[in-house]
Amino acid sequence: MLQGKTLIVTGAASGIGAATAALAQRLGAHVLSVDIQRPAEVVGTFFQADLSDQASIDRLVAALPAGAHGLANIAGLPPTRPAEAVLKVNLVGLKYLTTQLVPKLADGAAIVNLASLAGLGWPEAQAQIHASATLDFDGVPAFCQAHGIEGARSYFFSKEALIVWTLQNRWTWRDRGIRMNAVSPGPVDTPILKDFIETLGARAEEDMKTMDRPGTPADIAPVVAFLLSDGSAWIRGTNVPTDGGMYANVLCQMHGY
């Protein structure tokens, strides 16, 4: 499915990023793995970068070869980390890396952003999302203070804004055939699952009761791989819930079904 493609995968050292990188390689891709720390077992070619730092991203973009056929933006921080760091990695750094890389991507490339079920409330956050449209690294502290972005809200907001950014860019690079989509996992059994439970408390426990089990990285990676493949060429600006039915449950509750 990915035979002969060169794919960039951020967050490749653990969790969903590691599972995606490994699956892409098994499916025939040459993987360019990116993470802040070097994994014990590298998939493909490894590049170290701190996605909270603009200069580090600039060095990464310069080092990555031109002509990649896909970018999987999977690196992210959990809601237990400081709010400013969460916004820098999950939103500002992701957007900056993507826009800087687009000129180096091959025509027809696919971009996949790892969002989250935590972002489903984006319609109620439009004022904050509009205000973040031109947010840069230096502006994050003031933005957080002005908009009350603290604690777990940083994670929820970063995913809300990311979903909207994905929708907005459905046709931005259509003249080159470059498409962008998102995947929104529900609770996934990764090293940061405990961070969500710790942060959300009773709410997280109630959500988990509606599911048969938490997801695993192996549940999410094939969806990312499909969106990186030619089989998804006419899917643009879509956010795919991959959550064991959690989003459907939320929708039913919202509308009285």
Residues annotated catalytic, as ranges:
155
Q: What six digits make up the tokens of 22?
A: 């490994």
Give the neighbor-by-neighbor strand order of the sheet with 105-114: 45-48, 30-35, 6-10, 68-73, 105-114, 179-185, 239-242
Q: Which long-range contacts (CB under 8 A, 24 or more apart) does 212-216 make?
A: 212/244, 213/244, 214/186, 214/187, 214/188, 214/189, 215/185, 215/186, 215/187, 215/188, 215/189, 215/242, 215/243, 215/244, 216/19, 216/188, 216/189
Measured CA to CA, the distance from residue 225 to residue 69 in angstroms comes to 12
Residue the block writes with tokens 């549940």: 219
User: CA 64 from chain center: how many Å?
Assistant: 19
**What sign does the CA torsion over 75, 222, 233, 163 have?**
negative
